[in-house]
Amino acid sequence: MPRLLHRTTDSPRRTLWQRIKELALTDVGVVMRGGVSTGSLEKLEQVLLEADFGVPTTARLIAAVEREAREGSVRTQEEFLETLRAGVEAALRAGRSDPALGRAAQPPTVVLVIGVNGAGKTTFIGKLAAQLRREGQRVLVAAGDTFRAGAVDQLRMWADRAGASFVGAATGRDPAAVAVDALDAGLAAHADVILFDTAGRLHTSGSLMDELKKVARVFAKRSPGAPHETLLVLDATIGQNAIAQGKTFAGAVPVTGLVLTKVDGTAKGGVVVAVHEALDVPIKFIGTGEDVGDLRPFDPTTFSRQLLES
């Protein structure tokens, strides 16, 4: 299975498990006698915070390690590792965590894709369109980003590569009007899924957030339950800032799923756990590269194992 997380040979950027072993498990004898020293726990806390797990998740992981050690369940590095891995997986499975893509009772399923500039929305849509087409589904891609120069052409290219239908728009056109066109075209083409791109917007822009709300309202009025998925695309390399972005977007429209892009470009994969916990929204996909096939449905077990690989 392809790796989900970045590996590097640069000495300052060791893997998470290497850093834990070097900083928090220097006194292996303490661990093997059924305890973990206060100093080791403090160093473990430092490593986890530096890996962007955030304070709440870090505190729970530290407490789990300390509890298991006092009960005699952590006596080796392997047991220490498994306790951490199990804690990460449990955090990812807590709350709303179903990674399955929601579906409309009657097609087409409308998927609204939102996020800030540069997060990777357009690329994600292209990858998801290709994945759905491989599954035999009829896909329509709609260009709701009518402001960024070249956005429509870029999305059209991805749609062509995926073999999906495409609805474009003139520069400056009202995205809500494009949403109407997309629904009409999707119904006419008997599409199973409509993937609707939106303009990248700073999460601090109130007017653009109002525009996003308008697009969502248009979909809701014209199609029962639409948008059936609202996927927020976040750049994993920005760390804890992803949480601030996520909270603002979720305050504007009901976010039903998260997409973490550029996971291959960060050694701080803890943000995946932190943003899920902060928003109580399931992670649906993670992006692991630039190629069309570099999109993975999210699996907590696989992610937690690869996060703590040596």
pLDDT above 70: percentage of residues in the chain: 86
> Measured between alpha carbons, how far is 146 from 160 in angstroms, rounded to an integer?
19
Q: Is 115 in contact with 232 (CB distance < 8 Å)? A: yes
Query: Is residue 2 in a domain?
Result: no
- Which range marks the domain in which residue 21 is found? 16-93
Look at residues 28, 61, 93 and tell me which one is the last residue of a structural domain.
Answer: 93
Q: Is 23 in contact with 47 (CB distance < 8 Å)? A: yes
The residues near 200 (Cβ < 8 Å, ≥ 6 apart) are 115, 116, 117, 118, 119, 121, 145, 148
pLDDT band at 20 (very low <50, low <70, confident <90, very high): confident
Half-sphere exposure of 310 (CA within 13 A, CB side): 6
The helix (run of H) or strand (run of E) holding residue 45 is helix 38-50
CATH number at residue 149: 3.40.50.300
Residue 100 has pLDDT above 90, yes or no: yes
Domain match, 217 and 252 both: yes
257 is written with which tokens?
Answer: 């799923």
Q: Is 165 in contact with 191 (CB distance < 8 Å)? A: yes
| Chain position carrying tokens 């020293």 | 37
pLDDT digits (tens, 9 = 90+) for 142-178: 999 888 778 899 999 999 999 999 999 888 899 999 9
> Measured between alpha carbons, how far is 287 from 297 in angstroms, rounded to an integer?
9
Residue 206 has pLDDT above 90, yes or no: no
Burial grade of 309 (CB within 10 A; 0-12, 13-18, 19 or more)? middle
Query: Is residue 6 in a domain?
Result: no
CATH number at residue 69: 1.20.120.140
Residue range 106-118: average pLDDT?
A: 94
Residue range 204-221: average pLDDT?
A: 86
Domain match, 246 and 290 both: yes
> Measured between alpha carbons, how far is 197 from 146 in angstroms, rounded to an integer?
10
DSSP 8-state symbol, 117 = T
| Beta-bridge mates of residue 109 | 193
Residue 282 has pLDDT above 50, yes or no: yes
Look at residues 59, 93, 127 and tell me which one is the last residue of a structural domain.
Answer: 93
Domain match, 292 and 200 both: yes
The residues near 3 (Cβ < 8 Å, ≥ 6 apart) are 264, 288, 306
Choice between 208 and 26, residue whose per-residue pLDDT is larger: 208
Helices (H), 95-205: 121-134, 151-162, 175-188
